[in-house]
Amino acid sequence: MANSNFFARLGNLWSGFLSLFVANIEISHPEIAYENSINAMVDKYSRLRSATAAIIGRRDELSNRLAQLTHEHDQVVSQLKAAVATSQDDLALVLIQKKNTLEAGLQDLKGDAEQAAKDAEEAKSSLLAVKSEIEKLKAEKDQMLAKMNSAQARIQINEQLEGLSVDADVQTLDRVREHIRNKVAEANLGQELHDSDLDVRLKKLRNESGDLTAQAELAELKQAHAASMQATAKKM
């Protein structure tokens, strides 16, 4: 008894471990979970279809028997009327008994046929419902897997964008940019130092003084030329 309980617990433990293992696989691969569910529904649909076919077969059989029995009953009633009309009392008595038997059988058969028809309709409704669930599950599978693929793509993009700040190539480019900025600043500093040098400033001042002297000399020449022109005009 102890060994039996041990193996039973061991079996339960293994079943639990296997279920957990399968569940983890299905979470990691949802397409497997959907395929398993769809296959289970398809198997259910197949078994329900066979059961429905049997129910419909019974309904049709009862319907045919009811039609035959009704036809037979109508014939007996017609024969009974003929026997009464021709005063064949002995034949009429036999036909009355047969009619009564047929009517009792018809009563029971009608009940069975009605129930069989109801069962067939319910079975067909269940079959259509399962088929509809299968189609919905297939559509859901496509939609959910598409959403998952989109989410995974977005996660990868986000991870890549987050990784750009520490990417070696980007770091190298940042160092190149900094080097260029330093070179530009160094060149600008040289020009600034050159412009502020005393000799440079004195040379600039001499150039500016020379320009002023030349401009003054030019003004005197223009003034002398104008005076000469006026003197000449007066003599004329």
pLDDT band at 2 (very low <50, low <70, confident <90, very high): very low
Helix and strand numbers (H, E) in the chain are 5, 0
Residue-wise pLDDT for 181-220, tens only, equals 888 877 776 666 555 555 656 666 666 666 667 677 777 7
Q: What is the CATH number of the domain that holds 114?
A: 1.10.287
Domain edge (last residue) among 126, 150, 166: 166
Residue-wise pLDDT for 137-173, tens only, equals 999 988 988 888 888 888 888 877 766 555 556 667 7
Domain edge (last residue) among 116, 149, 166: 166
136: left (phi over 0), alpha (psi -120 to 50) or beta: alpha
pLDDT higher than 50, residue 223: yes
Average pLDDT, the chain: 79
Residue-wise pLDDT for 65-105, tens only, equals 999 999 999 999 999 999 999 999 999 999 999 999 999 99
Give mean pLDDT, residues 108-123: 93
- Same domain, yes or no: 161 and 187: no
Cα angle for residues 27, 30, 36 (degrees, 5° grid): 105
pLDDT higher than 80, residue 121: yes
CB 57 within 8 A of CB 73: no
The more confidently predicted of residues 145 and 174 is 145
Domain edge (last residue) among 166, 199, 220: 166
- Same domain, yes or no: 140 and 187: no
pLDDT at residue 169 in the model: 61
pLDDT higher than 50, residue 108: yes
pLDDT at residue 17 in the model: 41
- Same domain, yes or no: 72 and 32: yes
pLDDT band at 44 (very low <50, low <70, confident <90, very high): very high
pLDDT at residue 105 in the model: 92
Sign of CA dihedral 48, 53, 58, 59: positive
Rounded to the nearest 5°, which phi and psi values hold at 149? -60, -40
Tell me the pTM.
0.50
pLDDT at residue 160 in the model: 76
- Same domain, yes or no: 49 and 84: yes
Q: How many domains does the chain have?
A: 2
Rg of the chain's alpha carbons, rounded to an integer?
56
- Same domain, yes or no: 177 and 72: no
Q: Which domain holds residue 222?
A: 171-235
- Residue labelled with tokens 């079959």: 127
pLDDT band at 26 (very low <50, low <70, confident <90, very high): low
Q: Which of 57, 101, 40 is nearest to 76 (CA)?
A: 101
